[in-house]
Amino acid sequence: MATAAVPKVLKNFINGEWIESSSGRAFEDRNPANTDDLVGMFPSSTAEDVDAAVMAASEALKSWRLVPAPKRAEILYRAAETLVRRKEDLARDMTREMGKVLAETRGDVQEAIDMTYYMAGEGRRLAGQTTPSELRNKFAMSVRQPLGVCGMITPWNFPMAIPSWKIMPALVCGNTVVIKPAEDTPLSTYNLAQILSEAGLPGGVLNVVNGEGPEVGAPLVVHPKVSAVSFTGSSEVGRLVNEACAPNFRPCHLEMGGKNILLVLEDANLELAVESAVWAGFGTTGQRCTAASRVAVQKNVYKEFLDKFVERVKALRVGDGLDTATDMGPCINEKQLETVMKYVEIGKGEGARLATGGQRLTGGPYARGWFHEPTVFADCDPKMRIAQEEIFGPVVAVLEFDNFEQAIEIANGVVYGLSASIYTRDVNKAFAAMRDLHTGIAYVNAPTIGAEIHLPFGGTKRTGNGHREAGTAALDFYSEWKTLYIDYSDRLQRAQMDG
């Protein structure tokens, strides 16, 4: 079934049915490369819709938590098989609503495939611990238990991958889900929910409520029957989510901003470092939490690197992501484009040298989209705002450093701590960097993007609050431990008692 054939007017998914919002209103999902292209109309939901979804999830939890984990996993496996078959259609839908090039949206769908297969495999594991008891004739072990109804709020830059990172581990652990997708990219979550439903997921186990943050996200995170919340987005909104969860001690997973760096030492393979900096800085139009919006280069090779980097960036082809000749697509919406333009002016005002780019692209193929030139600022000071604040767009600040110790100081000198990479042939410096970079992810001779789903994903400082996506680390958030003691001695035994 080609997903492009879905009806123009789409609905919420509550209790296994596609239903209208109680508000009767809808919002538009338009192609950021061509705003004449209406991808779909989605319901502008309310707290009433959120309540209906949470109550459906709460009711479904009663039976879903009792389904054996291997059986829950079989549903995920069938969904993964469908994702594989429909990958191209799903990728094209995503490019239309999000803007990134087809090669990247295919990768986004592939992440959903990988995560779904991976968590399906966990359905036959979900391992706890068995340990010897300190007493005779006593058995001790721990098991994972579901949390309950999980509320999820997801961003627009990875509109199928990130929902899958949250939904799949939650489901295999026996939780039910209410998810609010980003207003800019609801179709990809719609497609994912449709596929899970076709795979046999019972009604009410997964619910999708569309709409704005204040009307949908806010009531979701404070709903009394929501047991845990997972949020990916800006640090500013993440703080509000955290504060909303705190009064009831509700478990809260936050995945937020980044100001990632690519360090280039004088002994690095410069050609590799340049290609990596281009990909890490301008892939997804720089709209990744892991984008390398800072590149710091050692003094001896600074000019050579910068010249090659700027030349390569100037050659990038900007346009519609559906055109296979395009290297970089549009910003997601007008507001994000305005943010990029604002930071370009900030960079100029701070005295950074504009090496290339700096302008909005208009006219011709850009007339109806939110396009901006790939932009490089050179000779930046580490304390400049463009080298400190997350821009989330195609703007890279290039800095110079004298020695390894200064490079690490620059790398750690921001409020975020998601991803960092170092390019060097010196194994001693590589291992020292892996130890000393205060980030959740570190790469050696690879860009700051490219995390794999079977390892933990997340960051330190203002990037996150200690929880992790992906791998078995995700299971740790979506389940809680229960410790079990079985005494078969047929007499009272007292642990931790003398004698």
DSSP 499: -
255 is catalytic: yes
| Under 8 Å between Cβ of 69 and 213 | no
Task: For 80-137, list the strands marked E by DSSP.
Answer: 130-132
Long-range contacts, stretch 231-235, CB < 8 angstroms, 24+ apart: 231/152, 231/153, 231/255, 232/153, 232/154, 232/155, 232/162, 232/166, 232/256, 232/289, 232/469, 233/153, 233/155, 234/390, 235/390, 235/416, 235/462, 235/463
Torsions phi, psi of 486, nearest 5?
Answer: -120, 110
- Note whether 361 and 395 are within 8 A (CB): no
Say which residues have a Cβ less than 8 Å from residue 253's Cβ, sequence separation at least 6: 228, 229, 230, 231, 464, 465, 467, 469, 477
Which of 122, 183, 215, 255 is an active site residue? 255
Cα–Cα distances in angstroms (integers) from residue 460 to residues 259, 384, 404, 420, 429, in the given order: 12, 21, 22, 12, 22
Least Cα distance to 230 among 258, 213, 252 occurs for 252
Which amino acid, one-letter code, is at 280? A
Alpha carbon of residue 339 to chain centroid: 20
Closest CA to 31 of 65, 67, 4: 4
* Tally: H helices and E strands in the chain: 14, 21
CA distances 383 to 130, 259, 352, 353, 412, Å, are: 51, 12, 11, 15, 12
Backbone angles phi, psi at 115, to 5 degrees: -65, -35
Count Cβ atoms below 10 Å from residue 52 Cβ, excluding itself.
21
Determine contact, residues 42/59, Cβ cutoff 8 Å: no
Element (H, E) at 154: none
The conformation of residue 382, written as its DSSP 8-state character, comes to T
List Cβ neighbours of 335 (8 Å cut-off, separation of 6 or more). none
Phi–psi pair at 83, nearest 5 degrees: -60, -40
To the query of whether residue 338 is one of the catalytic residues in this protein, the response is no
Which is catalytic among the residues 173, 252, 289, 331? 289
As annotated, the active-site residues are 255, 289
